């Protein structure tokens, strides 16, 4: 078996790199977790769940996740406007990954 050489490696070409590009950051994993647990979720409920997030930041992260095909935005035709977010089928395919992260955290969290 030929030994891999780090000099030949291209991290950006890995599936790991691609996955991180979609879910990394301070808020994206939390948004996905929130939707995984409570979907559908309205914008203000999401903002309260994230606690100290600015409206602009939350809106930007939701748009990025929607653009990446992980969440969908549903606008109800009513007054006042009502918007809900939920996971797409592609977003639901991440649930197993997020569950594993949660399991690892529960198993390795220092006891108080």
> What is the domain partition of the chain in residue ranges?
40-107
Q: Is the pLDDT of residue 73 over 90?
A: yes
**What are the tens digits of pLDDT across the range 19-46?**
888 999 999 999 999 999 999 999 999 9
Rounded distance between C-alpha atoms, residue 34 and residue 46, angstroms: 8
Instruction: Answer yes or no: are the C-beta atoms of 32 and 65 closer than 8 Å.
Output: yes
| pLDDT of 53 strictly over 80 | yes
Q: What's the confidence (pLDDT) of residue 98?
A: 87
**Among residues 38, 33, 50, 47, which one has the least CA distance to residue 102?**
33
Q: pLDDT grade, residue 7 (50/70/90)?
A: confident
Question: Are the C-beta atoms of residues 91 and 35 closer than 8 Å to each other?
Answer: yes
pTM of the model: 0.85
Give the CATH number of domain 40-107; options: 1.10.490.10, 3.90.1150.10, 3.40.190.10, 1.10.10.10.
Answer: 1.10.10.10
Instruction: Note whether 29 and 23 are within 8 A (CB).
Output: yes
């Amino acid at each position: 078996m030929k030994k891999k050489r780090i000099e030949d490696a291209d991290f950006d070409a890995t599936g790991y790199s691609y996955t991180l590009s979609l879910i990394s950051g301070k808020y994206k994993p939390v948004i996905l977790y929130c939707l995984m647990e409570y979907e559908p979720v309205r914008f203000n409920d999401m903002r309260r769940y994230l606690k100290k997030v600015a409206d602009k930041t939350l809106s930007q992260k939701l748009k990025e996740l929607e653009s990446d095909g992980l969440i969908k935005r549903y606008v109800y035709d009513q007054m006042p406007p009502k918007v809900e977010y939920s996971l797409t089928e592609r977003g639901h395919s991440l649930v197993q990954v997020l569950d594993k992260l949660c399991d690892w955290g529960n198993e390795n969290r220092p006891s108080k």
